[in-house]
Structure 1
Amino acid sequence: MDNTDQVLEQGPSSRALSWALRQAGPDSRLVQAVRLKGGISSVVYRLEIAVDHQAENRLWVMRIIQDEAWIKEEPHLPLHEKAALLAACEAGMSAPVWIASDPEGRECGYPAVLMSCLPGTVILERQASSAWLQALAEAIAKLHGAPARKMEWHYFTYVSLDGLEVPAWTEEPAAWRCILDTVKGPRPEYTPCLIHRDYHPANVLWTEGAISSIVDWINACEGPAGIDTGHCRLNLAQLYGVQAADDFLDAYLAAPGASLLAANPYWDMLCLVEMLPGPPGVYKGWEELGVQGLTPELIRRRLDEYAVRLAAKHKEYE
């Protein structure tokens, strides 16, 4: 690694840009590099590249992974994202097309991935409408129902379940105790499918009122469909409240391709405990995308409400 981190906020390093331009060909030149908002574990840029004798400029996205802890934990991230993008495209999803990878950062200073740039913008509504939630649900159900190539990456939890305790900040300790007891118990059976693994509204692009693509596939793997719905529900509960999360799940279960096994609250609980130990805060990416009015106290209250809802649903589901 070099001192690339000193210039990442201003733009990609000259090394990284030279590598990207080599992928475009000897007659290419950079028009502009714009940092995209929302990411926290990697820096993502949209590159506009002009190539001589071509009428239209190329629009590419470069991800530079500068999180040392993440790299240490998952040393093959660029190869993982390549496999994920290939699998997503083969499954018929509107996802970026893989162009090149620098797995060890020998070219760019940090591990990097180059991919196509898709049209659209992130839309985080002030209040979650039924149509917006239904579109989010149908998009991920399509992925779960699609045939996809086998991947060598499989779902695993990001936290050690055995060491988790009821959080000190909660005002609903009984609900959290139920959740922790449940996730530490037997895992329900499931049918593995291709999952995005980080599916939430900030990773969905919209064009003319419809979802045009899903981005940020670096965590995609084979696993339970309920992890995708659970992670999205966790984000919706924090952004809009528990009712939005429940409406999303109802829309998902009614969508073509949906896995009915995602209805088991176990998967929602498994996603929720990845918030621990806390205390809760406001996701920086939401603020960068223009969301206003969220506070740590509001997030805490909504997470407690969600925990109570999941504990009650667990009793109904048994």
Structure 2
Amino acid sequence: MIDLAWVQEHLDAGERVVDAEPLHGGLTADMRHLTTATPDGRRRHLVLRTYVDRPDAADWLSRESHALTELETTAVPAPELIAVADPALLMTWMPGRTVLTDTGLIPALARQLVAIHAVQPVERPRPFVTLTTAATVVTPDGADWSAAIDVIRGGHPPYEGVFLHRDYQPGNVLFDGNHITAVVDWAGTSWGPTDLDVAHCATNLALLHGPTWAHHFIAAYEQAGGALSPHRHYWLIRDALAFSEELEPATHPWRNSTRPDLTPELVAARLTTYVTTLMTP
């Protein structure tokens, strides 16, 4: 649902919305690309994120608006916050496109993540949350993940906190050629170990391109100056196992865009292989 009256309150004098197109790929909210125009012909492009029937919408909106405000004075390319009020957030549209087919962009992805982790926020975001437990992991038929599940039993290891994106992966990074134009979707911003963001992007790359590319990304992050903890193994396994619970909804948008080859059977097989590589000495 588009609340154009609310949007209008935050536009310049004489500016009005002349077009609204859906943006695909979001899992938690309705996303719209808005085009505005003024009487003298100037146009502007905005994005409206609206949460529908989400009791936790205020929390998501608070975290994203806080993150966008913190990033305004950094070199991290991100949208500019225009307005926020439950259940919607209005921000600037960022140029570029998501690239789900090019493994040659992995070094750029790694360098950008190192820059995100270097952000020193005026106010820390909330501590990270992990929902997966040993009891909720969905083990594929014929697989033995018992050793991997044992790794995540009990509490998490100690960590040094940094500013996390928390859903850093190719679907949330925009490119123009080899150049990153923006990192989007900051609703999950948290404070926690670098390993969490690295593990999440690595799992996404394992599903997109195969497990080998996950390990290439981990190495590229360290080569770019990023620091992982002595407990990286725990975080890598935790994120991979977390995908077992949401494999279909997480990968469905990829098939609807540029990766129809990523069948449910293929991504499930890649996840199983990736977990196996993480558990192989």
TM-score by length of 2: 0.92
Correspondences of 1:10-29 after superposition (within 5 Å): 12=2, 16-29=3-16
**1:34 paired to 2:21:** yes
**1:102 paired to 2:85:** yes
- In the TM superposition, residue 28 of structure 1 has moved relative to its aligned partner by 1.5
- Larger deviation, residues 111-120 vs 266-275: 266-275
Percentage identity across aligned positions? Answer: 28
- In the TM superposition, residue 289 of structure 1 has moved relative to its aligned partner by 2.0
- For the 8 Å contact 2:125–2:189, the answer to whether it is kept is no
**1:171 paired to 2:142:** yes
- For the 8 Å contact 2:134–2:149, the answer to whether it is kept is no
285, 297, 301: which is aligned to 2:269? 301
Query: Where in structure 1 do 4 or more consecutive aligned residues deviate above 3 Å?
Result: 276-282
Change in 2 beyond 3 A, CA 1:274/1:76: same
Change in 2 beyond 3 A, CA 1:153/1:33: same
Classify the secondary structure of the residue corresponding to 2:186: coil
Aligned equivalent of 2:115: 142
181, 184, 196: which is aligned to 2:165? 196
List runs of 5+ in structure 1 lacking aligned partners. Answer: 5-11, 104-110
23, 44, 59: which is aligned to 2:45? 59
- In the TM superposition, residue 262 of structure 1 has moved relative to its aligned partner by 7.7
Correspondences of 1:1-318 after superposition (within 5 Å): 4=1, 12=2, 16-53=3-40, 56-66=42-52, 68=53, 71-73=54-56, 75-103=58-86, 111-125=87-101, 128-129=103-104, 132-159=105-132, 161-165=133-137, 167=139, 169-173=140-144, 176-256=145-225, 258-261=226-229, 264-277=232-245, 283-312=251-280, 316=281
Amino acid at match of 1:72: P
Change in 2 beyond 3 A, CA 1:191/1:294: same
- In the TM superposition, residue 164 of structure 1 has moved relative to its aligned partner by 2.9
Aligned equivalent of 1:8: none
Partner Cα distance (1:249, 1:297) in 2? 25
- For the 8 Å contact 2:27–2:249, the answer to whether it is kept is no
List runs of 5+ in structure 2 lacking aligned partners. Answer: none
Classify the secondary structure of the residue corresponding to 1:63: strand
RMSD of equivalent CA atoms: 2.1
- In the TM superposition, residue 82 of structure 1 has moved relative to its aligned partner by 0.5
Q: Deviations over 1:160-203 (max 9, x none)?
A: x1523561x24330xx2122111114422221111000111010
